[in-house]
């Protein structure tokens, strides 16, 4: 085997070693990675996002989609998204009033449950996000 050619100006780094082919025994199949709680949770989150994109997006306006996506992204392990309406409005690029309307639209459509309505001296609002208004056809 011939030595790899080194380009001018690249003499600092040594050439890479050729990779060795992987060998597996004839009796064992390649092992699949084991599913952990984290990979299952990630798969479930993508399933929820796919269901939302496939069946629900066409029924919403831009503000409601943006608010739903922001709340879905903010959802923690306990299933709740905690944020203020002003923060949602700022991140979605809409007014506070439009954010309130979008939250109400999502609530009426069954895509959002308001768990705790926050406010002055009441803390931050909590929401539970749902991907579908009904089962897909």
- Residue range 17-42, pLDDT digits in tens: 766 666 555 555 666 667 676 666 66
Distances (CA, A) of 108 to 38, 52, 103: 32, 16, 9
Q: Does residue 75 sit within a domain?
A: yes
Q: Which residue has the higher pLDDT, 18 or 91?
A: 91
Distance of CA 103 to the CA centre of its chain: 19
102, containing H or E segment: helix 96-109
pLDDT of residue 79: 82
Q: Does residue 3 sit within a domain?
A: no
Residue 137 has pLDDT above 60, yes or no: no
Q: Does residue 11 sit within a domain?
A: no
Q: Does residue 103 sit within a domain?
A: yes
The mean predicted confidence, pLDDT, of the chain is 79
Residue 113 phi, psi (nearest 5): -120, 125
Confidence of residue 78 (pLDDT cuts 50, 70, 90): confident
Task: Give the count of domains, the chain.
Answer: 1
Q: Does residue 137 sit within a domain?
A: yes
Which stretch of 8-22, 65-79, 83-97 has the lowest confidence by average pLDDT? Answer: 8-22
Q: Does residue 21 sit within a domain?
A: no
Q: Which residue has the higher pLDDT, 123 or 8?
A: 123
- Residue numbers of the domain that contains 76: 62-137
Q: Using an 8 Å Cβ cutoff, are 112 and 71 in contact?
A: yes
Confidence of residue 45 (pLDDT cuts 50, 70, 90): confident
Residue 98 has pLDDT above 80, yes or no: yes
Indicate which CATH number applies to the domain containing 82: 1.10.10.10
Q: Does residue 112 sit within a domain?
A: yes
Token pair recorded at residue 121: 């001296």
Q: Does residue 52 sit within a domain?
A: no
Residue 47 has pLDDT above 60, yes or no: yes
Q: Using an 8 Å Cβ cutoff, are 96 and 89 in contact?
A: yes
């Amino acid at each position: 085997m011939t030595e790899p050619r080194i380009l001018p100006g690249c003499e600092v780094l040594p050439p890479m070693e050729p990779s060795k082919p992987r060998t597996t025994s004839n009796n064992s199949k390649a092992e699949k990675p084991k599913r952990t709680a984290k990979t299952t949770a990630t798969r479930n989150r993508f399933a929820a996002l796919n269901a939302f994109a496939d069946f629900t997006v066409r029924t919403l306006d831009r503000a409601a989609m943006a608010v739903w996506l922001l709340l879905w992204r903010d959802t923690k392990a306990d299933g709740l998204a905690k944020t203020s309406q002003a923060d949602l409005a700022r991140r979605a690029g809409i007014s506070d009033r439009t954010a309130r309307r979008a939250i109400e639209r999502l609530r009426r459509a069954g895509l959002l449950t308001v768990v705790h309505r926050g406010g002055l001296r009441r803390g931050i609002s909590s929401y539970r996000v749902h991907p579908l208004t009904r089962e897909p056809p």
